[in-house]
Structure 1
Amino acid sequence: MTRSSKHENGRNSSLILTHGDSDGVCSGAIAKSAYPDADVYFTSPIGVVDELDLAEEYRNVIICDIAVDESKCSKLFRRLEEIAENANLTYIDHHPLPKKCVHPEWLHHDLTVCSSELTYKVLEDRLSRDMRRVAIYGAIGDYYDNSPSVKEWLLDWDKRSLFFQAGTLIQALIYAGRNYDFKRKMVLPLSHDKIPTEIPNLLRYAKEGAELEEKLRIHVKKEVRTLRNLAYVVDPHGYMSKSAIYAASYGQKDVGLSAEFRHKRNVYDLSFRSRDTVDLNMLLRRIAPQFGGSGGGHAAAAGARIPKGSFDDFLHAFDRAIGEEKSKGKVEKNGEKE
């Protein structure tokens, strides 16, 4: 699909902008099921403002699972208000919002569920009840499968089969990485509630992804480095999120970090995972800008981008901040006991 298709379809068509992870793909598939004529593109918190230029010729614009970046909040919301004047805008997200963000009527926001579950609920009147299954895939992929609704929906399925299908889909999508053409091909069959194992090439991607993950695990085990509160691995040449998980595990620290250097931009892209109560989102939103970067996400899973020249200083500052937050938490906990 080319960008010129928006002009061919004109105002009779719909546009879906969504994230490229499993929750985003499932959210996009659910939205596509609700709006079968929709064109689907993948974007990110950093790129969404530019991608909104696509929205000018569409009647319906649905945005799923795109966190609001702190530095772009005002610009993004101004652009969205302009779009909402001429189109039916639906923005669905579950990431923490910057404090300065307003809550317009087109924004559907809930921190307690994944984007896939929220997308299903927002668009439920246009959907088959069976699309809950795709929402469950997204919930499993984003570690939100313990929400009250998902636990209730799981009763309608054989949980073992569902987790097999979800695991296969998640592994394939992670392996696909930035191959958005492959991910776009996943959206259409998922929007028709086709099980992942029946989607062409998906099982092969999942198998290759599992083999790569095992090699990655062994690599991280050998190469992990540690600070006082943080374990990290640099350029693991594999899945960043999984590398962060294994860094925390083998480094025996509460927070794991995977860093990948981007030569063209001269920056490090970072993925964090927390095994403790430290709020990664809040820490990154506060600390990353001090080093010329940006960051955020969820409390237990977040990402950042830091210039190469500031990387080492950022690591040590973030490590200290984790320790300070843990100490603060212990003091508050002891105060409650007293």
Structure 2
Amino acid sequence: MDSLTQIVLGAAVGEAVLGNKVGNKAILYGAIAGTIPDLDIFASHFTDTVSALAIHRGFTHSIVFSVLFAPIFGWLVSRYEKYKDFKAWSWLFFWALITHPILDAHTTWGTQLFWPLDIRLAFKTIFVIDPLYTLPFLVFLILTMFQKRTSKKRKLYNGIGLTISTAYLALTFVLKDAALNHFESALQTQDINYQEIDIRPSPLNTILWNANVETKEAYLLGDYSFFDTKGITFESYPKNHELLGKLIENEKVKRMIAISEGWYTINKIDDKLYYNDLRFGLLNMESQSQNFVFKYFIDVDASGNVNFIEQEKTQRDGKKLMQDLWERIKGN
């Protein structure tokens, strides 16, 4: 999830664990702990794109990381804070750290919660930024901060915020299941034979859902809004995996395919190869658009070394996507 959401979650968890003892300091340290796992993003400055993608939401988003570092942070804070309970501080950091990857596990990218096992947990029920999850949570956290440490309202407001956010997260599973039923029904009605289907919410909401459907030669992309009155249509995108040629044996290419869970297409434009990660969809909703959110130029140097160079996205792309989404959410 986005940084603000993780700060709010960490702060609320910190308050729940130690707010009655240290007041707003529990919120402060919970917020700090809630951001720590995402420090792995700095790996992109020291390694190649594929390695950075593999590292992201890896070790720092695991149970192992929370167990190892919670007592370290707890000990450091207990050394200089007036409240000296090492166990209590460690408990605060553990819960603020572990809830971060648990929440991230609900997004499309997922987390390696069980690192070092090579398992990425991704429920794909919520987009990385969802105002319906974050804003009510934030409001009740702010109300909590303005209450006295021993006030019953403090515990009440924080509890309401945690309850609403958790209930909404649970609701996203129900919404995903309902959307999946609609996609599967449409595929059956249109007599489409498919191998696998993968769905996820579109940006900023859980009303409009996107589907990737794998067939033998192509991927079908479709969308469904709970306000739709017409049937679901699917756009076909050829896999073009054969365009990789011998590159399919390259270790970095294999890692990239594993990272995208096999959901990818290849385009050849002006003798240049581009790798499209289908899991995050398109930057617009135009028919047969090739403007994928995550599109990489496959650069092969004179020595045969392979590098994936992410194609830049512009503010114009984002603005166009928001306009398209708003219109599409309202139904077809």
Class of the TM-score when normalised by the shorter of the 2 chains? 0.3 to 0.5
Given the two structures, how large is their TM-score scaled by the length of structure 2? 0.36
